[in-house]
Amino acid sequence: QVQLAESGGGLVQAGGSLRLSCAASGPSGRTFSSYTMGWFRQADGKEREFVGGIRWSGNRLYFTDYADSVKGRFTVSRDNAGNTMYLQMNSLKPEDTAVYYCAASGPGRPFARPSSYDYWGQGTRVTVSS
């Protein structure tokens, strides 16, 4: 069983930055390193959407992917020793306002599908003012 806890959300002005963290408890560091991890967000009245993800691609490398709406502005990274994933968000826009969730799954599943993920955090709210 894996528990995920997001932190780092808050209120920021357009153009600003935030760094979200997702702390995983339950798996060992070695196990956590094999998990595919994703960030999703859900704005009020809208469906949950993929933001970015990171997964093991072999040879000590990780592959990342992003939604088109955040490419070049958001960066996903992970610290396997600390069982933590991060989402660095720069150049924030009002349309980035949402509750942000982190999720974890076993290896080899498609990034962008919420159904790929077995574990979810409770979410952290990000509000970007214009």
pLDDT digits (tens, 9 = 90+) for 103-123: 999 877 888 999 999 999 999
Read off the tokens for 13: 């002005």
- Per DSSP, the three-state class of 29 is helix
Mean pLDDT of the region 70-97: 96
Q: What is the pLDDT of residue 28?
A: 67
Please report, rounded to a whole number, the percentage of residues in the chain having pLDDT higher than 90.
Answer: 75
Residue-averaged pLDDT of the chain? 93
CB burial string 63-91: b at 16+ within 10 A, e below: ebebbeebeeebbbebebeebbbbbebee
List the one residue out of 121, 118, 124, 113 whose CA is nearest residue 1.
118
Q: Lowest mean pLDDT: which of 21-35, 45-59, 76-90? A: 21-35
Q: What is the pLDDT of residue 74?
A: 98
